[in-house]
Amino acid sequence: MQEFVTNAFVLGRRVRGELDLTVDLYTAYMGRIEGRVISGQKISSRFSPHLNVPNLVTLRMVEKNTLTVTDALTVSEFSWIKNDVPMLRSILRIFFLLRVATPPHAPDEVLWRCLVESMHTHTVDIKEILKILGHNILSASCAVCKSISVHYFEYGDGIFFCETCGSKQTSDKVVLIT
Ligand SMILES: [Zn+2]
């Protein structure tokens, strides 16, 4: 059993069984990981209130078959976001993309530093995040009509769509990026 402490962004949280939670986390040294929170659904859970999207938290975890959160403390809940609805929507899309489109246990120092800096300086930009993930919007064009004005990203195939073609897509893997 190995114990460690790490900072992490909370990308998402899901119900796990009767009482537990699974939290999706993006960390500096391990990239994206999942953590189990035992009895995290209980109102009395001491650290479940810290594990909300898009908080930056300091976690203590133990690894024994699965990663289990044994302590959590909020570093920042980025309260400025709550007064900026367009930015909040953009950050929720970014955190969703990180959750579904980054490989687990693949640390990316550039991505981590970009997240920390832009979340603290209120300059989070989904285009910048996509570029770090290898999808440069500046050289992108719509996969259907070849327009260079792209508004949507499909994370399954890593392709872009313009506003018109993107709005016609039925895949649930299409994310608005403007
Ligand atoms: Zn198009």
- Ligand 1 geometric centre to CA of 144 (Å): 5
Q: Which residues are CB-neighbours of 122 under 8 A, at least 6 positions away?
A: 80, 84, 87
Are 104 and 150 contained in the same domain? Answer: no
The alpha carbon of 136 and the centre of ligand 1 are apart by a number of angstroms equal to 17
Using the mean position of ligand 1's atoms as its centre, give its distance from the Cα of residue 88 in Å.
27
User: What is the pTM for the complete model shown?
Assistant: 0.92
Rounded distance from Cα 123 to ligand 1 centre (Å): 28
Same domain, yes or no: 108 and 166:
no
Which pLDDT value is given to residue 9? 98
DSSP string spanning 121-158? TT---HHHHHHHTT--GGG--BTTT--S-EEEEETTTT
The Å distance, Cα 91 to ligand 1 centre, comes to 25
Q: Say whether 72 sits in a helix, a strand or coil.
A: strand
Same domain, 52 and 7: yes
Tens-digit pLDDT profile for residues 3-13: 999 999 999 99
Do 98 and 150 lie in one domain? The reply is no
Is 135 a residue whose pLDDT tops 90?
yes
SS3 assignment, position 88: helix
Number of folded domains in the chain? Answer: 2
Q: How far is the CA of 146 from the centre of ligand 1 (A)?
A: 6
pLDDT of 163: 96
Residue 48 has pLDDT above 90, yes or no: no
Residue 11 lies in a domain: yes
Res 47 pLDDT > 90: no
Rounded average pLDDT over 132-146: 95
Q: Do 112 and 140 reside in the same domain of the chain?
A: no
Which of 95, 53, 51 lies closest to 70, judged by CA?
51
Per-residue model confidence as pLDDT tens digits over 64-94: 889 999 999 999 999 988 889 999 999 999 9
Q: What integer pLDDT is reported at residue 96 of this predicted model? A: 94
CATH number at residue 69: 2.40.50.140
Could you list the residue range(s) of the whole structural domain that residue 76 is in? Answer: 1-118
Query: How confident is the model at residue 72, as a pLDDT?
Result: 95
Query: Cα–Cα distance between 37 and 88 in angstroms, integer?
Result: 25
- For residues 95 and 31, membership in a common domain is answered with yes
Span from the CA of 171 to the centroid of ligand 1 (angstroms): 15
153 class by beta-carbon count within 10 Å (0-12 exposed, 13-18 middle, 19+ buried): buried
State how far the alpha carbon of 66 is from the alpha carbons of 62, 83, 102, in Å.
8, 37, 19
Same domain (yes/no): 26, 86: yes
Strand order in the sheet with 159-162: 159-162, 150-154, 174-176
Tokens of 147: 């327009």
Compute the distance from residue 102 Cα to the ligand 1 centre, in Å: 25
Q: Would you say residue 129 lies in a domain?
A: no
Q: Cα of 152 to ligand 1 centre, how many Å?
A: 10
Q: Tell whether 108 and 37 lie within a shared domain.
A: yes
